[in-house]
Amino acid sequence: MAQTTLASQASFERYTKKTRREKFLEEMERIVPWRELEALVAPHYPKGENGRPPVGVKVMLRIYFVQHWFNLSDPAAEEALYDSAALRRFAGVDLGRAPAPDETTILNFRHLLEEHDLCGAMLDAVNLYLDSRGIRIGTGTIVDASIIHAPSSTKNSSGTRDPEMHQTRKGNQWYFGMKAHIGVDSKEGHVHSLCSSAASVADKHMLPDLLHGKERKVWGDGGYQGQGDAIRQAAPHAQDMTSRRTRYKDGVDQLQRRKNRTKAKIRAKVEHPFRILKRVFGFVKVRFRGLQKNHQHLCAGFALVNLYLHRKRLAPLGA
């Protein structure tokens, strides 16, 4: 009796259902400004003058974004292309003509983006694209930082922890890793500025680099209080709206507490990009050693976060 194989079983399938992954990829296909981003990478991409012809920019850029959306390493991305027909269709990989790009090819593409600082340029290009669609950066900025964990174990080839990562205490809990500092538009809620540092660096030190200079108001939590001079130097017309201290030895300043509560309703928008990055895209731990590689990864990640954040407004335009 002949044994039934997976291939023969697939040929008799009568029922199908569009999965959440397929729906997500179809939505991203519509809202990502592919033409602008491909034009950004193309001048730096190998032309194939020596050796075998390179995989197209279109395919590699889509695979790179798939890695961000589904939190895939280079080997995992290669395996996912063989495993998922939906990912192959999205990336434009046809196994009947050529194999999927291997993990080394995927790695080299990422190194190309890092070498030419193209991930930071992607964030700027996406914000310009949003601006052209009426989603503009206004005159209010909310600043905040979030800790991205790094492995604290020394059980690796070097026998040491990453020297560029450091530990910090938040409450009674110690964390080891880096910080992502972002500046978010107070109206639209998307990221326009990004800085990366070790986790031990205080939030206030990155404040001037998170402002675009045209702000009228700047919001931040208690970690940024007392930075009025730094705000005015970076944005001369900005009003300091950061939260203030409320607890003193002789009691609690109830008026200031109410003001902080009002400010917190606006500051809440800064948590949305972090939620998408960590909970939707799954980036809760650093993927590389060193701050620079992870900073580039965050730049591209927040560019995709901005698109995902406004997907409902962009989808009708791109449909």
Check residue 249 and report its DSSP letter: T
The pLDDT value given to residue 234:
94
Q: What is the pLDDT of residues 24-43, one digit of tens each?
A: 999 999 999 999 999 999 99
Residue 131: CA atoms inside 13 Å, Cβ hemisphere, count?
11
- As beta bridge partners, residue 239 has 217
Residue among 225, 188, 231, 177 nearest 208 (CA)? 231
Indicate the pLDDT class of residue 318, thresholds 50, 70 and 90.
Answer: very low
What's the rounded Cα separation, in Å, for the pair 182 and 192?
8
Phi first, then psi, for residue 99 (nearest 5°) are -70, 160
What's the rounded Cα separation, in Å, for the pair 299 and 215?
22
Residue 256 pLDDT greater than 80, yes or no: yes
Region 183-188 average pLDDT: 95
Q: What angle do CA 202, 208, 213 make, to 5 degrees?
A: 155
Residue 127 pLDDT greater than 70, yes or no: yes
Q: In the chain, what are the domain boundaries?
A: 18-116, 137-287
What's the rounded Cα separation, in Å, for the pair 46 and 257?
58
Q: What is the pLDDT of residues 94-120, one digit of tens each?
A: 999 999 999 999 999 999 999 999 999
3-state secondary structure of 102: coil
Q: What angle do CA 261, 264, 265 make, to 5 degrees?
A: 100
The pLDDT value given to residue 105:
94
3-state secondary structure of 200: coil
The pLDDT value given to residue 170:
85
Region 58-71 average pLDDT: 96
What's the rounded Cα separation, in Å, for the pair 292 and 259?
38
Residue among 71, 137, 113 nearest 299 (CA)? 113
Q: What is the mean pLDDT of the chain?
A: 90
The pLDDT value given to residue 280:
95
Region 233-256 average pLDDT: 86
Residue 319 pLDDT greater than 90, yes or no: no
Phi first, then psi, for residue 270 (nearest 5°) are -70, -20
Written as six digits, the tokens of 178 are: 């880096």
Written as six digits, the tokens of 252 are: 């609690």
What's the rounded Cα separation, in Å, for the pair 288 and 181?
18
Residue among 233, 236, 238 nearest 220 (CA)? 238
Residue among 153, 184, 195, 167 nearest 294 (CA)? 195
Q: In this predicted structure, which of 156-165, 169-178, 221-230 has the lowest mean pLDDT?
A: 156-165
Note the pTM of the prediction, 2 decimals. 0.91
CA-to-CA dists, residue 314 to 19, 27, 63, 90, 214, angstroms: 22, 10, 22, 19, 26
Indicate the pLDDT class of residue 219, thresholds 50, 70 and 90.
Answer: very high
The pLDDT value given to residue 11:
58
Q: What is the pLDDT of residues 279-317, one digit of tens each?
A: 999 999 998 999 999 999 999 999 999 999 999 999 865
- Length of the chain (residues): 319
The pLDDT value given to residue 3:
55
